[in-house]
Amino acid sequence: MARIFLSLGSNVDAQQNLRLAVRELKDAFGDLRLSPVYRNQAVGFDGDDFLNLVAGCDTDRSVEEIVGIIESIHRLAGRERGDQKFSSRPLDIDLLLYGDLIITDGVRLPRPDVLRYSFVLKPLVDIAADTVHPETRCTVADHWARFDVESHPLHEEGLDLD
């Protein structure tokens, strides 16, 4: 069984779409550990603020099965592939970590966003501070301690998605 972490974000009907995503992920994986929800400005384009969180769980499912589940949830929220990389979206779910697996072809694991964006790293630290990043061999808490928080400010929303 592998411990996985997924990032969830939305800036179109964000509360509704994040609730949909959490409900569908619970249906697929059972118990989830959810971080607080954070608000941050859009990155890479001018748009409404995003709401973001990280969900973690244990699973026997393969990476391919997880990607299929993610895509089906995206479709339920009305997201269509082919959207620009940096654009508003009803829902964006990414597989961040799958145990200590490192994959460089296709689905990239660990996802580079873990170390790149505060709205991914901070929620991950909130629920899994002692998790070791498979490539750097440092804990995510160590990465957060060195992160330039001012580069991507975020604010906790206090939103309950359970």
How does DSSP assign the chain, residue by residue?
-EEEEEEEEESSSHHHHHHHHHHHHHHHHSS-EEPPPEEE--SSS--PPEEEEEEEEEE---HHHHHHHHHHHHHHTT--TT--SSS--S-EEEEEEETT--B-SSS-BS-THHHH-HHHHHHHHHHHTTPBPTTT-SBHHHHHHHS-GGGS-EEE------
Residues of the chain above pLDDT 90, percent = 82
* Among candidate residues 148, 159, 161, 12, the one with its CA nearest the CA of residue 80: 12
pLDDT at residue 85, as a whole number: 60
Residues of the chain above pLDDT 70, percent = 95
Per residue in 54-105, pLDDT (tens digit) is 999 999 999 999 999 999 999 999 877 655 566 688 999 999 999 999 998 8
Residues 131-160 have a mean pLDDT of: 95
pTM: 0.94
In this prediction, residue 162 has a pLDDT band, given cuts at 50, 70 and 90, of confident
What is the pairing mode between strands 38-40 and 154-156?
antiparallel
Distance CA 54, CA 52 (A): 7
Out of 3.40.1030.10, 3.90.110.10, 3.30.70.560, 3.40.50.300, the CATH code matching 2-111 is 3.30.70.560
pLDDT at residue 96, as a whole number: 98
pLDDT at residue 46, as a whole number: 79
| pLDDT value at 136 more than 80 | yes
